[in-house]
């Protein structure tokens, strides 16, 4: 069995590209459709009902592209609205489950940190998943709302004084808790991994949710006979809801190389929840 239809990936903006990058690494021959809701980013500062509504519209758009699987490459949707994926007519994957599993596997002192958007921290999704596996773990969470606009603005240089300063302020408390693992629970955050590592030190393992999720997606696709039979490099199509002109440049920075594939504007309000 095989399936040449694309994988659908979505995020509130550019952060999901850190997941896309990992997907391309482990499944270079898969076709992928990416939707970044750049007109409505950030999701993480919004209320639950709005996040659920946006997630349903994003999923509805991807279904219109005849995808074989949908990945919520957004920590906020994965934490607050994972149930929106459960009823879809295609398999759905979110980023919390596999990142929590990885953190529980690698911690030695059972002190785990989670940095994420305010909505994700409020949901306690990572914490609950970790504690299902390691009931005696101590989980310390910190919301870092300014990271998303800093990343979306491209202020990501390792020595950027504003971003470094902001990160120092956010991470101070977690450092004092002597955590040995830190989940970067928002998909925008791996873009500033160097800054976070410089502050936390080499003794703290940083978990990139995109890496864990891409490996899990590959395993799922292989186990369910959904792999693309075509072994050539896959095609990548990007859709955004605003600021299409600046997308390619910023996306190339986040992806680590020039993005290949078309970029198109989509009117996301046109897409209604199908469930
Ligand atoms: N990248 C997203 C996340 O993983 C969302 C950030 C936001 O829109 O606030 O949570």
- What is the pLDDT, as a whole number, of residue 116? 97
> What's the pLDDT at 219?
98
Q: In tens digits, what is the pLDDT along the chain, a chain of 275 residues?
A: 899 999 999 999 989 999 999 999 999 999 999 999 999 999 998 999 999 999 999 999 999 999 999 999 999 999 999 999 988 999 999 999 999 999 999 999 999 999 999 999 999 999 999 999 999 999 999 999 999 899 888 899 999 999 999 999 999 999 999 999 999 999 999 999 999 999 999 999 999 999 999 999 999 999 999 999 998 899 999 999 998 888 888 888 778 778 888 899 999 999 887 65
pLDDT score of 275: 57
- The Cα 199–Cα 115 span in angstroms is 14
Q: Whose CA is nearest to atom 8 of ligand 1?
A: 42
Please identify, by atom number, the ligand 1 atom nearest to the C-alpha of residue 120: 10
Pocket perturbation via mutation, ligand 1, pick of 36, 186, 207, 208 by most ligand atoms within 8 A of CB? 186
Domain locations along the chain:
7-94+211-270, 97-209
pLDDT of residue 154: 85
- The 10 Å CB-count burial string (b at 16+, else e) for 75-95 is bbbbbbbbebbeebebbbbbb
Instruction: Give the pLDDT confidence score for residue 223 in this predicted structure.
Output: 97
- Mutating to test ligand 1, I would choose from 16, 37, 42 the residue with most ligand atoms within 8 A of its C-beta, which is 42
Dihedral sign, CA of 237, 238, 241, 245?
Answer: negative
- Residues near ligand 1 (Cβ within 6 A): 11-13, 15, 41-44, 74-76, 117, 120, 148, 186-188
230 Cα: distance to centroid of ligand 1 (angstroms): 33
Spatial separation of the C-alpha atoms in residues 81 and 72, rounded to whole Å: 10
Give the CATH class of 7-94+211-270: alpha beta
Domains 7-94+211-270 and 97-209 belong to one CATH topology: yes
Pocket test for ligand 1, best of 188, 190, 213, 254 (most atoms within 8 A of CB): 188
Annotated active-site residue in 186, 192, 226, 266: 186
**CATH number assigned to the domain with residue range 97-209, chosen from the 4 options 3.30.43.10, 3.90.1280.10, 3.20.20.10, 3.40.50.1860:** 3.40.50.1860
Asked if 84 and 52 count as a contact pair (C-beta separation under 8 A), the reply is: yes
Q: Kindly report the pTM of this predicted structure.
A: 0.94
């Amino acid at each position: 069995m095989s399936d040449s239809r694309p994988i659908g990936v979505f995020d509130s903006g550019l952060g999901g590209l850190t997941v896309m990058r990992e997907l391309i690494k482990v499944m270079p021959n898969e076709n992928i459709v990416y939707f970044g809701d750049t007109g409505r980013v950030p999701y993480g500062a919004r209320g639950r009902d709005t996040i659920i509504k946006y997630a349903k519209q994003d999923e509805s758009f991807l279904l219109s592209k005849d995808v074989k699987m949908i990945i919520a490459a957004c920590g906020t949707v994965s934490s607050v609205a994972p149930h929106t994926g459960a009823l879809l007519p295609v398999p759905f994957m979110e980023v919390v489950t596999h990142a929590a599993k990885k953190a529980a596997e690698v911690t030695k002192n059972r002190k785990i940190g989670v940095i994420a958007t305010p909505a994700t921290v409020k949901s306690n999704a990572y914490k609950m998943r970790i504690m299902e596996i390691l009931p005696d773990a101590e989980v310390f969470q910190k919301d870092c709302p300014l990271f998303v606009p800093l990343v979306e603005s491209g202020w990501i240089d390792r020595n950027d004084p504003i971003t470094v300063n902001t990160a120092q302020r956010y991470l101070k408390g977690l450092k004092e808790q002597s955590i040995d693992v830190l989940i970067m629970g928002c998909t925008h955050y791996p873009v500033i991994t160097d800054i976070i590592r410089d502050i936390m030190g080499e003794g703290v393992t940083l978990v990139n949710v995109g890496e864990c999720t891409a490996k899990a997606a590959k395993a799922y696709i292989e186990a369910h006979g959904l792999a693309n039979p075509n072994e050539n490099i896959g095609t990548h199509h990007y859709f955004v809801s605003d600021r299409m002109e600046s997308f390619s440049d910023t996306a190339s920075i986040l992806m680590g190389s020039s993005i290949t594939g078309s970029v198109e504007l989509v009117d996301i309000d046109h897409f209604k929840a199908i469930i």
